[in-house]
Amino acid sequence: MPKIKEIIVEAVLPAIKAVGKVEMEGVLSGIKEHNTPEIYKNTLQGLHSDFSLLKEVAIKTKTRVDDGIVDLILEAVQESADADGIALS
pLDDT, tens digit, for every residue of 33-77? Answer: 999 999 999 999 999 999 999 889 888 888 877 667 888 899 999
Region of residue 85 (left: phi > 0; alpha: psi -120 to 50; beta: else): left
Contact 48, 81 (CB under 8 A): yes
Residue-wise pLDDT for 9-40, tens only, equals 778 877 888 888 899 999 999 999 999 999 99
Rounded-to-5 percentages of helix, strand, coil across the chain = 80, 0, 20
Rounded Cα distance, 87 and 32, in Å? 15
| Residue closest to 74 by CA, chosen among 13, 10, 21 | 21
